[in-house]
Amino acid sequence: MENTTKQHGNATVAFVAKWWKVITVAFALGLVASTLTAFLIKPMFKSTAVMFPTSSNRLSKAILGDRYTYDFLDFGDEENCEYAMQILNSQTMRDTVCSRFNLITHYAIPENHPHKLFKFQKIYRSNVTVKRTDNLAVEVSVMDSDPQWAADIANFIVDYYDTLNRMVLDSRATNAYELMSGSSEKLRAEIAQLQDSLNATPRNSYSLQQMLDSKCEKLADIESYMAVTKTDAETPISHKFMLDRASVADKKAYPKRLAIILAGSLGALLICIAALIVLEYVKNDDLRIKE
């Protein structure tokens, strides 16, 4: 065992002694190339905003409802996180950010590029990330060559979240209000007709009165829901709690120049050694064939 180890050690020393100039040149070339690459890469800065999505429960029920058990002040729910991430990652959000910050120009994408939207989306997805934290908060991180832009874009995304959320809720509330308004008008007409019938035929007053009471009860319920829905549509509230707003980074996040230099230098060294080992093996093999 000791003899084998000694032989391997002697072989390694002999190999290095024979090829040390080539190995040194390869390492030096790798060092120079990786250093130039590391300093030619445009530095990128990262800014992060963190928010807790609040409950999407209706404010009107929380305030007006007698038996409403949910608290609209709740936050950090898993369902709310998934809902928030869907909005933050939506095409509507992406298009709005692109328009607000003119990112096509900022990312140096030519206007006449045949696939400029595809290229923009690819760059956007690599620069903007939305993820859920272990504590059920949502983290929006933006990488950009301009540290101020990185912070501004991150803050705009979390601020615009409320706007998109309101658009969804307002649309639903408006549609529901219109449907209930139609039902209310229909019930009012039926109630007026029943009152006329009750006045005209007192003999059937009991059955007519029951029908009238039932219609009036339904109308009261619908009008109550209409008031609730109107409150939802007319009361703007934030659906997030801002934990941390994005700040301007004072240090680049990418590239890690030392890591690139080390990886490039060692990579060149290993490739050179591997190539020399193969070359030695081929030479020895040829000698054995000739013998």
Shared domain for 9 and 148, answered yes or no, is no
Q: Which range among 55-59, 99-103, 193-197, 226-230 has the greatest average pLDDT? A: 99-103
Shared domain for 151 and 230, answered yes or no, is yes
Confidence (pLDDT) at 259 = 81
Shared domain for 202 and 84, answered yes or no, is yes
Shared domain for 15 and 67, answered yes or no, is no
Render 212-280 in DSSP notation, one character per residue.
HHHHHHHHHHHHHHHHHHHHHHH----SEEEEE-----SS--B--HHHHHHHHHHHHHHHHHHHHHHHH
Shared domain for 190 and 177, answered yes or no, is yes
Report whether pLDDT(110) > 60. yes
Indicate the number of domains in the chain: 2
Shared domain for 137 and 263, answered yes or no, is no
Digit-coded pLDDT (tens) for 262-289: 888 888 888 888 888 888 777 765 555 5
* CA atoms of 270 and 275, how far apart (whole Å): 8
Note down the domain range covering 284: 1-41+255-291
Shared domain for 50 and 113, answered yes or no, is yes
Report whether pLDDT(60) > 80. no
Report whether pLDDT(70) > 60. no
For the domain that residue 125 is a member of, what is the CATH number? 3.30.1890
Report whether pLDDT(87) > 50. yes
Shared domain for 101 and 85, answered yes or no, is yes
Helix pair 205-234, 147-200: axis angle to 10 deg: 170
Place of tokens 């934030």: 238
Shared domain for 177 and 121, answered yes or no, is yes
For the chain, give the percent of residues with pLDDT over 90: 24
Report whether pLDDT(55) > 80. no
Shared domain for 109 and 56, answered yes or no, is yes
Shared domain for 83 and 140, answered yes or no, is yes
Shared domain for 142 and 162, answered yes or no, is yes
Mean pLDDT, the chain, rounded, equals 78
* CA atoms of 200 and 187, how far apart (whole Å): 20
Place of tokens 């305030």: 63
Digit-coded pLDDT (tens) for 152-208: 999 999 999 988 888 777 666 666 666 777 777 777 777 777 777 767 666 667 676
Confidence (pLDDT) at 99 = 92
Helix (H) or strand (E) holding 192: helix 147-200
Give the gyration radius of the chain's Cα atoms. 35
